[in-house]
Amino acid sequence: MSESLRVDLLVIGWGKGGKTLAAKAAKAGRRVVLIERDAAMAGGACINVACIPTKALVHAAATRRPEEDPQTYLAEAIRNRDSLVAKLNAANRAMLAGSVTVVIGEARFVGPRRVSVIADGERLEVEAAAVVVNTGSGPRRGGVPGADLPHVHDSISIQHLARLPERLVVVGAGAVGLEFAQMFAEFGSEVTLLSRGPVLAAEDEELRASVLGVLADSGVSLVEGVEVVEVTPASVVTTAGTFAADAVLFATGRVPVVPEGLGAAGVDVDERGYIAVDEQLRTSADGVWAVGDVNGGPQFTYISLDDYRIVASQLLGSGGRRRDDRVAVPTTTFVTPPFARVGLTEREARERGLDVKVATRDVAKLAMMPRPKTVGDTRGVVKVVVDAGSDEVLGFAYHGIDAQEVVNVVALAMRAGVSATQLRDGIWMHLSSTELLNEILDFG
């Protein structure tokens, strides 16, 4: 049996950008269908398998006391993670209930702005005036012999280990690799982190050294400049030797997850397999947009949210927003303490021939920011790069407590044209980590 629907907006995938757009369009009186292939992913990857559950585990690991049994503690941390995810999952279902038609099934394009989906054993065909693809990305697996063994994990499967591994090898030292390596070391595993090249190579040396020092203090053994050749049931074989492992995590990047039938829809992909879009996120097919990870942009939930704004401005507003409007976009790697940055490094600024003022301080030596001392974590470094002529903040990097919050203040200042002097003279609440701006920007 089959049924056909004609709607104003079809969203494929329950990620941040898509679900927000679906809710907004429905509120504006549009008829909206959202198709999600996995019922367990209601709300998208961020709340179910990525940002939120992993940061809950990071926090749990960082707060484990030495006397607490690692196996018992990990099991409780996973239960708490699952409880949190269930609540968020339910909240996301409620957000769309009654206003958006949600269909659980695999969407396949069968023509321009037209998809077919099998749901509850029946075939549904949906045609829409506008289609937004929001199908995201997935972890890249190892691609070497043995990468499919039962003890080999990606960033999703490792969140539900039955037992804490005595020896964990993490392959890949991007943000995910760093976060999981430190997390499992603090849960109690012996962790070896393998990297093809220098870790945090794009960062200035003070910040790189600070982050790697904290990882080492947490018990992470870092090996740089190695290639994985094979995974065996008890080890990881590399070009630099063999490392014993009870469990292996491949944190080697992500790959796009695209709907079937893109050709029938007239939607092109780029050389990496991501859906090709312009600065307004329009695909090669009229009336089809792609938001979130699947369009090949920065893979952050807050970028997906901004993608929503760009598409919403075209469907519901003036149409003025574009990707190239984005400036001073901050990032954070949630090691403990977190490492955040926005703008240029000192090296990048000098390579551009800019005349800059630079200040670097150890967090422990910041006299005007006592918050780290009050909470007992004075690890880290802060660094700022300022244009000597214009007093413009060109870059800011902070490895330390509350880094993810302070970087937002600096990023906003950079977007708004607030000068380094104005930030220095800002009245920042005491006690707060933002107070570091009073000191780090005092070049006098």
Rg (CA), the chain: 23
What Å distances lie between residue 196 and 68, 87, 158, 193, 206, CA to CA? 35, 39, 22, 10, 21
Residue from 46, 58, 59 nearest 85 by CA: 46
Q: Which of 151, 153, 160, 430 is catalytic?
A: 430
380 known member of a binding site: no
Residue with tokens 């012999």: 145
Name the token pair of 94.
């409620």
Cβ partners under 8 Å of residue 5, min gap 6: 33, 101, 124, 125, 126, 127
174 known member of a binding site: yes
179 known member of a binding site: yes
Pairing between β-strand 254-256 and β-strand 137-139 as defined by DSSP bridges: antiparallel
Name the token pair of 195.
């990297």
142 known member of a binding site: no
172 known member of a binding site: yes
265 exposure class (CB count in 10 Å sphere: 0-12, 13-18, 19+): buried
389 known member of a binding site: no
In the annotation, is 430 catalytic? yes
Residues in the chain: 444
Please, what sign has the CA dihedral across residues 238, 243, 244, 249? Answer: negative
3-state secondary structure 314-367: HHCCCCCCCHHHCCCCCEEECCCCCEEEEECCHHHHHHCCCCEEEEEEEHHHCC
Q: How far apart are CA 258 and CA 281, in angstroms?
A: 15
Q: How far apart are CA 110 and CA 274, in angstroms?
A: 19
Output phi, psi for 35, to 5 deg.
-110, 125
- Looking at residue 345, its amino acid is T
176 known member of a binding site: yes
177 known member of a binding site: yes
Cβ partners under 8 Å of residue 178, min gap 6: 193, 199, 211, 215, 333, 335
Q: Determine how many CB atoms are found less than 10 A away from the CB of residue 121.
A: 7
Q: How far apart are CA 406 and CA 128, in angstroms?
A: 43
Give the sheet arrangement for strand 220-224, strand by strand.
152-153, 247-250, 167-171, 190-195, 220-224
111 known member of a binding site: no
* 8 A C-beta contact, residue 42 and residue 92: yes
Cβ partners under 8 Å of residue 83, min gap 6: none
Q: Determine how many CB atoms are found less than 10 A away from the CB of residue 178.
A: 27
225 known member of a binding site: no
Binding residue ranges for NAD(+): 172-179, 253
Q: Which residues are annotated as a binding site?
A: 55, 135-137, 172-179, 253, 293
What residues are designated binding site for FAD?
Answer: 55, 135-137, 293
Point out the residues that are catalytic: 430
